[in-house]
């Protein structure tokens, strides 16, 4: 549970842990975001999602913050935008179950030729922190049981605003550097109402709330290499401490959290005239964050993915490569002392809308994923769609 707060907010922490196993969320992307800083939301486009990728080594031009070297292969000015809705069914201990949905725009980016290379501005999602839970129960205040209604809402997210530059070293190699700024806010409110709706009661309503703003830096360096039938890329992201600054009216204190260094490696191999095999891994150790959280267990955020692309498929007379993928990645935060992972099977396609002299000027990429997140007391099964649009021009 996020704890950029003092004794008063510990009441919120305890209440949410109870509510999560007894109530239905109204919105959000995952209930596991209540166990720590949030649920990771990666800045990936539709092609990366369909191939089960960690966002690196996909082959061809890339405008994702996880692959700085791929930016050098753009050639001309390019923009990309992605949307990613999800639909989640959950079941918790005590035979509790329900469903909810959420939506994110995980990636918006623009690349433009600059000083013999390619510069970019990218807006990417990092952590989703939004959810809402409610619960109705009875408490004994000394004169007998009293009906209570608890409503906890948390609205917030952390994004990463990036400035990048990449340049080809020669016909085979490219290198890039991205500087990112973490930004976002978190608004949390717990409202406990005593008595039935028609009963005025003699106990005041209890409200606890607070607002925090997020700040921090990240630096990502990476490179890529292209050979006949094989493209390889690697990157390392080095973040600063993440600061949560309480607003003037918030009784909670400011806090700082450690973020892990993330290493990524990916490759795409040409297995034949129309078959591409992609694989990628990410290594991230969140263990240093555990001492800075309360009532949360921190696990590894490492993972891997593999995918297959049939590049000669066509739709409506246009190139429409088919893609299939699998990935497994650890969720850094859990309610129990055990590892929690997200496993997905994915499929999708791309559709080239406009192409000139072998250069793609407009393309859409779509993926659909069927996934599962699970721990001892909570399981989520979800569908996630990702639609991205890439446009280029001179």
Q: What is the pLDDT of residues 214-225, one digit of tens each?
A: 999 999 999 999
The CATH number of residue 134's host domain is 2.40.160.60
Query: pTM for this one?
Result: 0.84
Q: Is the pLDDT of residue 107 over 60?
A: yes
Number of domains observed in the structure of the chain: 1
Could you please report the per-residue DSSP string of 332-374? Answer: SEESSSS-EEEEEEEEEEEEEEEEETTEEEEEEEEEEEEEEEE
The answer to whether residue 302 is domain-embedded is: yes
Give the chain's mean pLDDT: 84
With 0-12 CB in 10 A as exposed, 13-18 as middle and 19+ as buried, what is 49?
buried
11 pLDDT more than 50: no
Residue % of the chain over a pLDDT of 90: 46
The pLDDT of residue 2 is above 60: no
Q: Which residue has the higher pLDDT, 139 or 332?
A: 332
pLDDT over threshold 50, residue 377: yes
- Other beta carbons within 10 Å of 290: 16
Say if residue 249's pLDDT is above 90.
no
User: Looking at the domain assignment, is residue 2 inside a domain?
Assistant: no
Please indicate, yes or no, if residue 62 is contained in any of the structural domains. Answer: yes
Q: Residues for the chain: how many in total?
A: 394
**pLDDT tens, position by position, 119-141:** 999 999 998 888 777 777 777 66
Judge residue 96's burial from the number of C-beta atoms within 10 Å of its C-beta, 0-12 exposed, 13-18 middle, 19 or more buried: middle
How high is the pLDDT of residue 103? 85
Pick the residue with more confidence: 335 or 247?
A: 247
**183 within a domain of the structure (yes/no):** yes
**What pLDDT was estimated at residue 283?**
96
The residues pairing with 235 across neighbouring beta strands, listed in sequence order, are: 222, 264
Instruction: Report if residue 331 sits inside a domain.
Output: yes
Residue 185 domain flag:
yes
Asked, for residue 1, whether it belongs to a domain, the answer is no
pLDDT the model gives residue 197: 58
Q: How confident is the model at residue 23 (pLDDT cuts 50, 70, 90)?
A: very low
Residue 163 lies in a domain: yes
Which domain does 126 fall in, by range? 7-393
**What is the average pLDDT across 78-100?**
86
């Amino acid at each position: 549970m996020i704890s950029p707060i003092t004794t008063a907010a510990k009441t919120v922490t305890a209440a949410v842990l109870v509510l999560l196993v007894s109530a239905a969320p109204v919105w959000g992307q995952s209930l596991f975001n209540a166990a720590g800083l949030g649920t990771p939301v990666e800045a990936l486009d539709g092609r990366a999602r369909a191939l089960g990728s960690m966002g690196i080594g996909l082959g061809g031009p890339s405008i994702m913050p996880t692959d700085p070297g791929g930016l050098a292969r753009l050639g001309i000015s390019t923009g990309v935008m992605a949307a990613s809705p999800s639909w989640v069914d959950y079941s918790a201990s005590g035979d509790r179950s329900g469903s909810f949905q959420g939506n994110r725009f995980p990636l918006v980016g623009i690349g433009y030729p600059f000083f013999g290379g390619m510069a970019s501005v990218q807006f990417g999602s990092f952590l989703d922190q939004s959810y809402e839970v409610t619960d109705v129960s009875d408490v004994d205040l000394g004169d007998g049981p009293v009906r209570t209604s608890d409503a906890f809402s948390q609205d917030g997210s952390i994004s990463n605003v990036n400035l990048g530059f990449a340049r080809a070293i020669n016909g085979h190699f490219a290198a890039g550097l991205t500087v990112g700024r973490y930004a976002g806010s978190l608004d949390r409110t717990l409202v406990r109402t005593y008595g039935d709706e028609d009963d005025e009661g003699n106990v005041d309503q209890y409200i606890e709330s607070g607002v925090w703003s997020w700040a921090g830096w990240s630096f990502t360096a990476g490179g890529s290499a292209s050979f006949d039938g094989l493209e390889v890329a690697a990157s390392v992201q080095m973040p600063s401490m993440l600061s949560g600054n309480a607003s003037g009216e918030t009784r909670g204190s400011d806090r700082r959290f450690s973020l892990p260094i993330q290493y990524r490696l990916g490759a795409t191999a040409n297995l034949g005239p129309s078959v591409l095999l992609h694989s990628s891994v990410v290594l991230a150790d969140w263990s240093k964050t555990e001492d800075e959280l309360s009532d949360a267990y921190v696990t590894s955020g490492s993972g891997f993915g593999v995918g297959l692309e049939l590049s000669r498929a066509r739709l409506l007379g246009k190139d429409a490569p088919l893609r299939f993928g699998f990935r497994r990645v650890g969720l850094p935060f859990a309610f129990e002392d055990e590892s929690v992972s997200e496993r997905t099977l994915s499929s999708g396609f791309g559709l080239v809308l406009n192409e000139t002299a072998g250069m793609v000027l407009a393309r859409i990429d779509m993926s659909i994923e069927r996934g599962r997140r699970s721990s001892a007391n909570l399981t989520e099964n979800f569908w996630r769609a990702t639609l991205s649009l890439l446009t280029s021009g001179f």
